[in-house]
Amino acid sequence: MASIGLFYGTDEGHTEDVSERIQKLFPDGEVEVINIAEASNEDFEEFEILILGTPTLDNGGKQPDWEEFWPNLYSIDFSQKVVALFGLGDQVGYGDYFLDSMGDLAEAVSGQGATVIGEWPIEGYDFGASRALTASADHFVGLAIDEDTQDDETDARCEAWVKQVQAALG
Ligand SMILES: Cc1cc2nc3c(=O)[nH]c(=O)nc-3n(C[C@H](O)[C@H](O)[C@H](O)COP(=O)(O)O)c2cc1C
């Protein structure tokens, strides 16, 4: 059985694509990829380790399937769970809202007791504002992917981040 549940939402498929690329960087069978549109609380409860992926849409808004699932997050006990996050956004077109939804997701699961791992440095990105920053503002709360303007960086970013997450998980 897979030991990591990767839940993603997507409008145009980029987050699904990145989810599958991340899955392939782990050993075969370790990561189960689940579309949040088809997920239930029970699916979350199966896993102690979660990877959650979301794009940001509509000037800092949630992807609709994540938005629909959102109330469920508050009825899941994350206190024994480790969560790594990744977000997709467009730092040029939406630079004042870059990856906001990933930040909202981090806040929601942290509030429910999750241990969040996988912070990612802000170097190499050029944006105005983001709700996805750590308190020190020198990292994002999770992996930052920009398929709109930096797609040539995505594979290397995913590889480095997965190594970092694997190290954090021991
Ligand atoms: C209407 C629209 C609004 C968007 N708003 C934001 C935003 O506020 N912040 C951001 O970082 N990216 C924003 N984006 C960029 C998307 O997050 C990005 O294109 C992402 O790769 C889409 O992922 P998906 O294909 O999985 O839906 C927006 C894109 C669209 C089409």
Identify the CATH number of the domain in which residue 157 sits: 3.40.50.360
Atom nearest to 11 CA in ligand 1: 27
Residues 79-95 pLDDT 10s: 999 999 999 999 999 99
User: Are the CB atoms for 51 and 6 separated by under 8 Å?
Assistant: yes
Instruction: Calculate how far, in angstroms, residue 91's C-alpha sits from the geometric centre of ligand 1.
Output: 9
Could you tell me the pLDDT band of residue 1, with boundaries at 50, 70 and 90? confident
The helix/strand/coil state of 61 is strand
How many CB atoms lie under 10 A from the CB of residue 168?
13
User: Are the CB atoms for 118 and 82 separated by under 8 Å?
Assistant: no
Could you tell me the pLDDT band of residue 2, with boundaries at 50, 70 and 90? confident
Mean pLDDT, rounded, for 112-128: 98
Closest CA to ligand 1's atom 28: 57
- Rounded Cα distance between 127 and 109, Å, is 25
Using alpha carbons, select from 158, 118, 162, 141 the residue that is nearest to residue 18: 158
Q: How many domains does the chain have?
A: 1
Distances 150 to 89, 96, 102, 138, 170 between C-alpha atoms, Å = 10, 17, 18, 19, 30
- For all residues of the chain together, what is the average pLDDT? 98
Give this prediction's pTM. Answer: 0.98
Residues 138-159 pLDDT 10s: 999 999 999 999 999 999 999 9
Instruction: Calculate how far, in angstroms, residue 160's C-alpha sits from the geometric centre of ligand 1.
Output: 23
Could you tell me the pLDDT band of residue 73, with boundaries at 50, 70 and 90? very high
How many CA atoms lie within 13 Å of 162's alpha carbon, on the beta-carbon side?
Answer: 20
Instruction: Calculate how far, in angstroms, residue 56's C-alpha sits from the geometric centre of ligand 1.
Output: 5
Characterize 37-51 residue by residue with b for buried, 16 or more Cβ atoms within 10 angstroms of its Cβ, and e for exposed. eebeeeebeebebbb
Using alpha carbons, select from 160, 161, 158, 89 the residue that is nearest to residue 125: 89
Residues spanned by the domain of 120: 4-169
Atom nearest to 127 CA in ligand 1: 11
30 vs 2, which has greater pLDDT?
30
Q: Which residues line ligand 1 (CB under 6 A)?
A: 10-15, 55-60, 88-90, 94, 97-100, 147-148
Mean pLDDT, rounded, for 88-105: 98
Instruction: Calculate how far, in angstroms, residue 1's C-alpha sits from the geometric centre of ligand 1.
Output: 33
